A = this chain, B = another copy of it.
C-alpha cells in the first residue's frame, strides 16, 4: 500500500513539482555556445542543491567543459544509476518562438496543458520526473528508495566531449548494476515504451575554399570557381535517386533487422501518415524500399544540418565567395564504425574537388549505435510498471535519435541501460516552441515511482 501512498503524494504535490521545473527551465543552459557556460554551471548547482535537500550526497564535478552532477544515496538492493542531462539545445530561430524560450509557463492548449519552454521535454522535464518520484518516495517513507546514484550531464547537446574521460576516471563510483536513462518518448504518443535499439551519430563540419577572398561576380564570374557551386554539387550527390547514401562502403556494416524484431515492429500501431502529417509532410523520404519505422529506427541516414556561404542578408549582393560551409551528420546503425565512416566521408568529398578548391574538415561527435540486452529481469519489471500506469502494454522499441550515453555505459562501465521516457512526437524538441505535456510530467513521475517500487529494493 505504500506505492499507493507515494502515488497519492505525487498527485497532491504536482503544483509544487511544476514550480520547481519552471525554475530549472529559466536557466538558459545552452551547452554548445560558450557564451552560456555560466548558465550551465548555474543549472548544475541548482540540481545539486535540490538533490542535497532530498538527502542525496550531491556535488558538481568539474570537467574541461560543463560540470557533471553526481548524487549518491546508499541503501539496500541493486545499485541503480539514473542518467539525464541538464543542458539544452540553442533556441534559434528565435523569431519563430511564441515567447521567450527561457521564460517558461504552463499553457492551456487544444490538446491539454503543456509546459512551454526550451528544455521542457529535452531533457529537464524528463530528468525532473525521476527526482520528483524520489521526493515523493521520501515524503512517504522518510528515506530515499534503494541504492541509487543520479548522474546528470551538461554536454549532451554538444557531443558530450567530457563524458568518456569522466566515466573512465570515475568508473568505480558510477558502475551500477543497471542504468535508467530518461531521454526518450512514448511510442506514438500514447504507448509506454522501453527503447532497446539506438542509432549512433557522426557529425562533420566542412569548409570548401576556392579564391583567397570574396570576389565580384561581374568581374570574375565565369572564370573563377564558386565554392558554393562545388559544395552543392558534392552534397547534392550525397543520396541517389532511391534515397541511399552514396558514400562507398557506407552500408557495409549495416545488418538487416532480425525477422522477429521486424515482426514485432509490424504489430506496432505506427501511423506514419500522422507522424509525418503532424509536421506538414506526406511522403517518407528515405530509402524507397524501407518502411518508415525502419527509416527512423534501423537504417542509417546522411543529413545536411546546416549550410552557409556568400551573402545571406537582406537584399542582394553579387558576391562570388571565397568559402562555403556545411554541417553534415550521419545516423548510424548496427556495426557501423563512426571513425571509419568519418574517413570515408572525407575521402568521398576530397575525390570530388575540382582544381583550385581545398576542403577543411572539423569533426564533431561520434558514437556507434547501441542495442540493449533485454534479458535482465529489470526490463520485464519496468515494462509491467509502465503498463500499470498507462493502461496500455509497454513495448520494446527502437529510437532514431542518438543517445550515446547508453553505448558508453556499456563500453566504459559494462552496464546495461533501460531507456524510458515520456516525451511525445509533437514536443518540438530542438525546435522553436518546445513543450512537455503536463500529463507526461505527472504520469512520468508516477511511472518512476512504480518502477522504483519494483526494482529498487
Pick from B214, B217, B218, B281: contact of A399, CB below 8 A.
B218
Copies of chain A in the complex: 2
Query: Separation in Å of the A417 CB from the closest CB of chain B?
Result: 17
When the two chains form their complex, are residues B229 and A232 in contact, meaning their CB atoms are under 8 A apart? no
Contacts of A216 in B (CB 8 A): 401, 429-431
When the two chains form their complex, are residues B311 and A310 in contact, meaning their CB atoms are under 8 A apart? no
Of residues A216, A223, A430, which shows the largest number of chain B Cβ atoms within 10 Å of its Cβ? Answer: A223
When the two chains form their complex, are residues B331 and A218 in contact, meaning their CB atoms are under 8 A apart? yes
**Stretch among A146-154, A256-264, A313-321 lining the B interface:** A313-321
Contacts of A318 in B (CB 8 A): 201, 203, 303, 305, 329, 402, 430
Does A167 sit at the interface, judged by CB under 8 A?
no
Pick from B284, B287, B299, B306: contact of A312, CB below 8 A.
B306
Interface residues in A85-114 by Cβ distance below 8 A to B read 89-90, 92-93, 96
**Stretch among A71-79, A235-243, A337-345 lining the B interface:** A235-243
Which residue of B has the minimal Cβ distance to A293? B223
* Contacts known (A281-B224, A301-B222); A431 close to B233, Cβ less than 8 A: no
**Stretch among A2-10, A168-176, A204-212, A439-447 lining the B interface:** A204-212
Contacts of A312 in B (CB 8 A): 306-308, 325, 327
Interface residues in A376-430 by Cβ distance below 8 A to B read 399-402, 425, 428-430
* Distance between Cα atoms of A228 and B205 in the complex (Å): 15
Does A295 sit at the interface, judged by CB under 8 A?
yes
Contacts of A223 in B (CB 8 A): 272, 275-276, 284-286, 292, 295-296
Does A452 sit at the interface, judged by CB under 8 A?
no
When the two chains form their complex, are residues A221 and B310 in contact, meaning their CB atoms are under 8 A apart? no
Of residues A222, A324, A364, which shows the largest number of chain B Cβ atoms within 10 Å of its Cβ? Answer: A222
Query: Separation in Å of the A56 CB from the closest CB of chain B?
Result: 30
Does A220 sit at the interface, judged by CB under 8 A?
yes
When the two chains form their complex, are residues A303 and B431 in contact, meaning their CB atoms are under 8 A apart? no
- A-B CB proximity, top 9 nearest: A218-B401, A236-B236, A32-B315, A212-B280, A306-B310, A222-B295, A225-B285, A232-B236, A233-B236
**What would be 9 A-B contacts, judged by CB atoms less than 8 Å apart?**
A93-B214, A211-B280, A217-B305, A225-B283, A229-B304, A232-B232, A232-B304, A305-B318, A308-B308
